[in-house]
Amino acid sequence: MRFLKPVTNWRRRVERRHAIALVSAVLVLAVVPFLLPAYPLALLTLALAYGLFAFGLDLGWGRAGVISIGHAAFFGIGAYGAAIAVNTGMPIAIGVAAALALSALVALGIGRVGLGGRALASTMAVLTLALTLLAEQIARSWLDVTNGSNGLFVPSPGVVDNYYRTAIVALVVVTAVWYVALRGPLGRRLLAVRVNEQRTEHLGVDPHRTKTKVFVLSALVATVAGSAAAPVIGLVSPATAGIVMSTQVLVWLAVGGRGTIIGAFLGAGIVTIGQEYLGEAIGSWYLLVMGVAFILVVRFAPGGLVGLATKLRSSPLARSAAQDALIVSDRTDADIASGRSAAAAGGSNFDRFRQDEEMSIRNPIDLDPAALSLQDVTKSFGAVPVVRGVTLNIPAGQIVCLIGPNGAGKTTLLNLVAGDLPVSSGQIRIRDREVTSSSAHERASLGLGRLFQIPSIYQELTPAQNMAMARAEAFQLVDLPEELERFANNSDVLTQDLPLADQRALELAMSIAWGPEIVLLDEPAAGLSHEDSVRLAQTLRIVNRQLGCTLVIVEHDMDIVRQLADRVVVLADGMVLVDGDMDEVSAHADVRNAYLGAV
Amino acid sequence: MLELTKLSAGYNKTRVVDDVSLTIHRGEVTALLGRNGVGKTTLLRTIFGLCQIHAGSISVDGNPLPVGKPEALARRGMTYMPDDRGVFPSMTVRENLQLARRRGYEPPVDVYSLFPLLTERANQPAGQLSGGQKQQVGIARAILAGEKMIAIDEFSQGLQPSLAHAALQTLRAVAATGTAVVFVEQGPALPLEYADRVIAMLKGRIVLDETTSALREQQGPLMDLLVVG
Amino acid sequence: MESLVSLLLSIFTLFGFYSLLAFGLGIIFGQLGVVNVAHGEFVMVGAFLMYAMAGIPFWPRLLVVVLLGLALGVITERLVLSRLYARGFLATLLAMWGVGIVLRQGADAVFGSTPASVAAPISGTLDVLGVQYPLYRLVITVIALAVVGCGLLLLYRSNLGMRIRATVDNRTMASLLGIPPTLIITGTFATGTGFAVLAGALQSPMLGVTPGVGVSFLAPAFFAVLIGRPGSLSGPIFGALVVAILSTLLRTYLNETVAQLILFALLIILIAVRPNGLSWRKPQWKIAPAVPATRNGAPA
């Protein structure tokens, strides 16, 4: 469904500045051996291999916030793969291939377990730490294969050969990963997951899968780096896979700057070369100084050297925000259309609404069977029941407002429908699809959009990038009502600097641009001035009329409810108290009692 | 005693309380009314240093309040029960109450006779109590800790009516010794019966500030603010 | 019989050491939400301090070392961590990793990497059901368990402990009742550090003390915390027992590498099955029945 189309997209992915950077990198790397004496060249070779390793770590840590404090395990697997192949007379390619396969397998296992939605955030730290300790232990004790603490000797083909080999590997790997992954859908999703996992999930992207993918990729790059480094280091010992090495790579990346290619190589280069020259003078104090530098960077300059440099040199806001990810859809319109119909599976109401905008959507008899239906849904937190048996059928195209006193279970009910909370019992269906046990992103990919009490948007991106992200992951293509279009060209600010009313409007705009069939809104007017809330209500009406979206709105502002609701559902004490139009509801004595407290 | 001057506050950039000026006096029982999301809780949280002040100031007995330090207020005998009741779930009822006691202050009323549950369930972890039972623990703690001021959010939430009445009678007795009492309600019945003064909020602002006796005469404006429809 | 006794004794002594480690790690994690990846280094510092001050008699030296450990904890928390909590667990984790690097490399720069040794104050063995067991090991295990026991007593029976638990349960509410969170937080971190330093100091006569010695203790301590439901204060001690039993058994019957491999596999399985740790609390008898329609004056 979502195929990579690297070839057709190359013009979009490679901008002029990228081509210039690549060409200059090739030229510089090609010329260097003619300028440098042997020893510095050997050091530079090592720095390149280490830089590639740091780049690998950066894919996970810098781009997706996936922490690995034992990444040297993968580097070690690569180094040993090459070393064992050389020492047993096998072609080196077989050793490297085996190492890659092993790394992928291990990373996949750890990622699946440690990056799951329910796993604690510290789990990855523990697992990767244990992994590096284990790798070092195995390398030390598996004498027949690894030669224990003495390590394996890998002959060097000569300084210059070694240099070119390493440089080519680094260049090819970085360029390929950059082009295929970072500039492709994966890069976009990594950015999305790192900046706002919740919103990304409600755009139908599986965050767990995305993070696991990048962790595997990150492990693979580290493995390649290890293989490339083996002949440069000369002696592959257990420390290659061990804790000190794992520590070092974190330092390189932190010092250089996370989330950038140049930062990984710069950090590795400075620290490695510095260690060689300064290490002579101040001995083991050097690493101590690096440790202090690491703390200072974490504490005061999370962006590292590159971060400091970009602060001084003003680059376009949008570009630095996106970490060079390309936020556009890789799919053609036809892809989206077919993807939607595949996802919808029961047929969408969308087209019909578009053809017949004027049709009377207020008459429920004309409509399809329920867009959303809840059957006896309950939810308890521990022993406390919050939702106690709610049955609701919401026809497509209807605007339903959920009201009720505090603690009635309104937000909880939305969370149950959206998949942010599991139900205790009961059944939820979206169209004719049973989704009771589906995760939030699975439900989203059936066309379910969601807005939160506190706007959930990509705070660290610009409004235009927010809109682009929603469109890139779109469920279906829509023509956005004018009022919501205004964000699409706003690249001058980060959304975190917008006032609340605009943040809310943006959340609505991106959710609608994503093309949902059903939208859940939790107090969209809270904190808005009267004028803003009136405008919001008008916009919601337009969205409903023009696009045929089914809206389920939790709202306390009765002016809005009166303007909007086709139907009002009053929840009290976790149950439906009254279900009808506004007049019926306000006339109902129980409702007054529920609000005023029948004390 | 407590004075708010042109106070605006909220979370990060979100302004929830807008330009509120207000004086709370010792010995007075004040009810804070309004629908959901009008800023009642944020107002109380701001007073107790849990929300950001965007503009304006808060002072106690003429001294400006230390920012972001609820414990400083607690040491002066001012306490707040949040709307989630703030019980310590893993600790027993007795420990919950013990933590609220302050050296040198004995409340003028006996919370154990007000809420017999506190003795009956003394050794049960507070997390196992029902919502209404937690509410009793929370109110009892507030009475134990609040020498100068007691603020209770969502006062009658989960509380059975008889206990709500009894608790308010007790709070009036506490107020009579010079404590300022502020409680938040959604409905008008309890405030009209027990408060000296009723403040109603709408969209972050105070839209009504009247003595209860005046309101009892004419309930119209208050009802309009609270009722659906 | 004898092999069983010596096995049990090994488990017992390892349990003493691990419980001290896991308790310290657990309170730092439960209280501050900080994944203290420098915990092993604090152990190492304790051992090196014992080595460095060899002139002082053992028991007074132990006291001095623990006091220094507490000071180290206060300094680390105030200097490095205090402003990082708001940036989330990743920032504090990395900062502590940095502290670990500094301590490790600092020890390397000062003491070098040749294993240093510390003399035990008690020599000789004790006859336990026919097994000659080093007396010092038994003594330090008793001390370790006594310290952990006192720690638990302090937590569950004292006024201070009550305040600490209150802060764990609900930091905001604790501050609303006049408990200063910063003081409690610094104190807790220092205590956790102190436990680790004490563990290292007690264990030092059995170790070849090197700068890298601490790292290997981190994984089992973490394993213990994960088993014992992270966030709970006494859970890690139960976890320490499980880890002590497992690793002693595995190491007795298998070689080191296979033992470690199996432990790692078990860790992964545990996390896969129970991402939030095992709940080993007593079953709760009094689960309030879901009473229908009576609370909050539900509409008639």
Stretch A78-82: mean pLDDT, rounded?
A: 94
**Which domains are assigned to chain A?**
10-322 (1.10.3470), 336-596 (3.40.50.300)
Residue A45, φ and ψ in degrees, nearest 5 = -60, -45
Helices (H), chain B: 40-47, 70-75, 93-100, 111-114, 117-120, 131-145, 161-176, 189-194, 212-217, 220-226
Percent of chain A with pLDDT over 70: 87
Distance CA(C29)–CA(C222), nearest Å, equals: 10
What is the structure's pLDDT at C208?
87
Model confidence at A129, in pLDDT bands (50, 70, 90)?
confident
Does C26 reside within a domain? yes
Helix/strand/coil (H/E/C) assignment for every residue in A236-285:
ECHHHHCHHHHHHHHHHHHHHCCCCHHHHHHHHHHHHHHHHHHHHHHCCH
Query: For residue B79, what are the β-bridge partners?
Result: B150
What is the reported pTM?
0.80
Chain B neighbors of C172, CB-CB under 8 A: 50, 70, 82, 86
Chains contacting A (3 or more CB pairs within 8 Å): B, C
Query: In degrees, to the nearest 5, what angle opens at C-alpha A596 toward C-alphas B9 and A569?
Result: 90
What is the structure's pLDDT at C288?
32
Residue A343: which of A476, A469, A189 has the closest Cα? Answer: A476
| Distance from the first to the final alpha carbon of chain A | 58
- C254 is written with which tokens? 């298998």
pLDDT (tens digit, 9 = 90+) per residue, A414-468? 999 998 888 889 999 998 888 888 888 999 988 899 998 878 999 888 898 899 8
Residue A323: which of A458, A217, A191, A221 has the closest Cα? Answer: A191
In chain C, which residue's Cα lies nearest the Cα of A253? C94
Whether chain B has a CB inside 8 Å of the CB on C101: the answer is: no
Stretch B173-195: mean pLDDT, rounded?
A: 90
Does C11 reside within a domain? yes
Partner-chain contact C37 A69, CB within 8 Å: yes
Residue B4, φ and ψ in degrees, nearest 5 = -105, 130
Of B15, B131, B186, the CB nearest to A597: B186
Q: Are C277 and A550 in contact (CB under 8 A)?
A: no
pLDDT (tens digit, 9 = 90+) per residue, A184-242? 888 899 999 888 888 999 998 999 999 999 999 999 999 999 999 999 988 999 989 98
- A14 is written with which tokens? 């490679």
Nearest CA to CA, how far is B76 from chain A (Å)?
A: 31
pLDDT (tens digit, 9 = 90+) per residue, B2-19? 999 999 888 766 778 889
Write down the number of H helices and E strands in chain A: 27, 12
Nearest CA to CA, how far is A322 from chain C (Å)?
A: 20
What is the structure's pLDDT at A596?
57
Q: Are B32 and B199 in contact (CB under 8 A)?
A: yes
Q: Cβ atoms within 10 A of the Cβ of B150, count? A: 27
pLDDT (tens digit, 9 = 90+) per residue, A289-344? 888 888 888 888 878 888 888 777 666 677 777 777 777 766 655 555 554 544 44
Q: Are B34 and B202 in contact (CB under 8 A)?
A: yes
Distance CA(C61)–CA(C41), nearest Å, equals: 19
Q: At what angle do helices A207-233 and A185-195 cross, to 10 degrees?
A: 110
Of C255 and C38, the structure prediction assigns the larger pLDDT to C38
Stretch A153-174: mean pLDDT, rounded?
A: 90
Partner-chain contact C181 B71, CB within 8 Å: yes
Does C252 reside within a domain? no
- What 8-state DSSP symbol labels residue C285? S
Q: Tell me how far CA of residue B146 lies from CA of A267, B55, B80, B94, B180, in angstroms.
A: 56, 27, 8, 18, 9
What is the structure's pLDDT at C231?
62
Lowest mean pLDDT among A317-326, A359-368, B51-60, C199-208: A359-368
Distance CA(A255)–CA(A397), nearest Å, equals: 54
Query: For residue B177, what are the β-bridge partners?
Result: none
Does C174 reside within a domain? yes
State the best of C173, C233, C287 to mutate against chain B, taking most chain B CBs within 10 Å: C173
Nearest CA to CA, how far is A134 from chain C (Å)?
A: 7
State the best of A120, A143, A144 to mutate against chain C, taking most chain C CBs within 10 Å: A120
**Which domains are assigned to chain B?**
2-226 (3.40.50.300)
DSSP string, A144-200: HHH-GGG-EE-----HHHHHHHHHHHHHHHHHHIIIIIITSHHHHHHHHHHH-HHHH
Distance CA(A402)–CA(A381), nearest Å, equals: 21
Residue A523: which of A403, A393, A377, A370 has the closest Cα? Answer: A403
Q: Are A240 and A226 in contact (CB under 8 A)?
A: yes
Looking at the 3D structure of chain C, how many domains does it have? 1
Whether chain B has a CB inside 8 Å of the CB on A186: the answer is: no
What is the structure's pLDDT at C74?
96
Chain C neighbors of B98, CB-CB under 8 A: 162
Query: For residue C200, what are the β-bridge partners?
Result: none
pLDDT (tens digit, 9 = 90+) per residue, A521-560? 988 887 676 777 888 888 899 889 888 899 999 987 777 8
**Cβ-Cβ contacts under 8 Å for A337 (sequence gap 6 or more):** A476, A477
Write down the number of H helices and E strands in chain B: 10, 10
- A553 is written with which tokens? 């709105």
pLDDT (tens digit, 9 = 90+) per residue, B118-153? 998 888 888 878 778 889 999 999 999 989 999 999
Q: How many residues does chain C have?
A: 300
A522: left (phi over 0), alpha (psi -120 to 50) or beta: beta
Does C261 reside within a domain? no
- What 8-state DSSP symbol labels residue C116? B
Partner-chain contact C169 B89, CB within 8 Å: yes
Does C22 reside within a domain? yes
pLDDT (tens digit, 9 = 90+) per residue, C58-110? 999 999 999 999 999 999 999 998 888 877 777 888 889 889 989 988 998 88
Partner-chain contact C219 A133, CB within 8 Å: yes
Model confidence at A48, in pLDDT bands (50, 70, 90)?
very high
Three-state SS for B60?
strand
Stretch B188-194: mean pLDDT, rounded?
A: 87
Does C185 reside within a domain? yes
Stretch B186-192: mean pLDDT, rounded?
A: 83
Of C122 and B151, the structure prediction assigns the larger pLDDT to B151
* Pair type for strands A550-554 and A518-522: parallel
Model confidence at A357, in pLDDT bands (50, 70, 90)?
very low
Q: Which residues of A, range 289-308, sit inside 8 Å of C by Cβ? A: 290-292, 294-295, 298-299, 302
- What 8-state DSSP symbol labels residue A428? E
Taking 90 as the threshold, does the pLDDT of residue A275 lie above it? no
Of A330 and C200, the structure prediction assigns the larger pLDDT to C200
Partner-chain contact C176 B87, CB within 8 Å: no
Does C258 reside within a domain? no
Chains contacting B (3 or more CB pairs within 8 Å): A, C
Taking 90 as the threshold, does the pLDDT of residue C52 lie above it? yes
Q: Return the number of CB contacts < 8 Å for B and C.
A: 79
Partner-chain contact C177 B91, CB within 8 Å: no
Distance CA(B145)–CA(B149), nearest Å, equals: 9
DSSP string, C203-272: HGGGS-B-GGGTHHHHHHHHHHHHHT-TT-SSHHHHHHHHHHHHHHHHHHHS-HHHHHHHHHHHHHHHHH
Partner-chain contact B203 A591, CB within 8 Å: no
Look up the domain containing C14 and give its range: 2-211
The ipTM is 0.87
Whether chain C has a CB inside 8 Å of the CB on A376: the answer is: no
Residue A236: which of A155, A166, A151 has the closest Cα? Answer: A151
Partner-chain contact C178 B132, CB within 8 Å: no
Nearest CA to CA, how far is B108 from chain C (Å)?
A: 19
pLDDT (tens digit, 9 = 90+) per residue, A7-28? 556 777 888 888 888 999 999 9
Taking 80 as the threshold, does the pLDDT of residue A591 lie above it? no
C274: left (phi over 0), alpha (psi -120 to 50) or beta: beta
Beta strand spans in A417-574 (E): 425-430, 433-434, 448-451, 518-522, 550-554, 567-572
Nearest CA to CA, how far is B10 from chain A (Å)?
A: 10
In chain A, which residue's Cα lies nearest the Cα of C223? A126
Partner-chain contact A407 B157, CB within 8 Å: yes
* Pair type for strands A425-430 and A575-580: unpaired
Partner-chain contact B228 A586, CB within 8 Å: yes
Model confidence at A149, in pLDDT bands (50, 70, 90)?
confident
Chain A neighbors of C229, CB-CB under 8 A: none
What is the structure's pLDDT at A142?
86
